[in-house]
Amino acid sequence: MNEERPHFGGSGTPLERWRDDPELADLPSLNLAAIFEESRRVVVIAPHPDDEILGCGGLLMQLHALGRELLLVSVTDGTGSHPGSSLWPAARLAATRPQESRRALARLGLASLETMRLRLTDTQVAGEARTLAYRLHRLLHDDDILLTTWRGDGHADHEATGEVCAALVDGSSRTVVEMPIWMWHWAEPGDARVPWHRAHRLPLDESARAAKRHAMVEHGSQCQPDRSTGAPPILSALALERLTQPHEVFLL
What per-residue confidence (pLDDT) applies to 95? 96
What per-residue confidence (pLDDT) applies to 3? 39
Pairing of strands 247-251, 199-203: antiparallel
Mean pLDDT by 10 residues, the chain (252 residues): 53 95 96 96 97 97 97 97 94 95 97 96 97 97 97 97 97 96 96 97 97 96 94 94 96 98
Domains of the chain: 15-251 (3.40.50.10320)
The C-alpha atoms of residue 103 and residue 234 are separated, in whole angstroms, by 19
- Please state, in angstroms and as integers, the Cα–Cα distance from residue 84 to each residue in 8, 112, 196, 245, following that order: 19, 35, 38, 33
Residue pair 193/187 in contact by the 8 Å Cβ criterion: yes
What per-residue confidence (pLDDT) applies to 8? 62
At 41 the three-state DSSP class reads coil
Instruction: Please give the biggest Cα pair distance in the chain.
Output: 49
Half-sphere exposure of residue 62: CA atoms within 13 angstroms, side-chain side? 18
- Please state, in angstroms and as integers, the Cα–Cα distance from residue 13 to each residue in 41, 116, 195, 239, following that order: 35, 34, 18, 9
Listed in order, strand segments (DSSP E) in the chain are 42-46, 70-76, 114-120, 145-149, 175-179, 199-203, 247-251
Taking each helix axis as running N to C, give the angle between helix 206-217 and helix 90-107, from 0 to 180 degrees, rounded to the nearest 10: 150
The C-alpha atoms of residue 38 and residue 36 are separated, in whole angstroms, by 6
What per-residue confidence (pLDDT) applies to 207? 96
What per-residue confidence (pLDDT) applies to 7? 58
Beta-bridge partner residues of 45: 73, 148
Cβ-Cβ contacts under 8 Å for 88 (sequence gap 6 or more): 81, 82, 96, 221, 226, 228
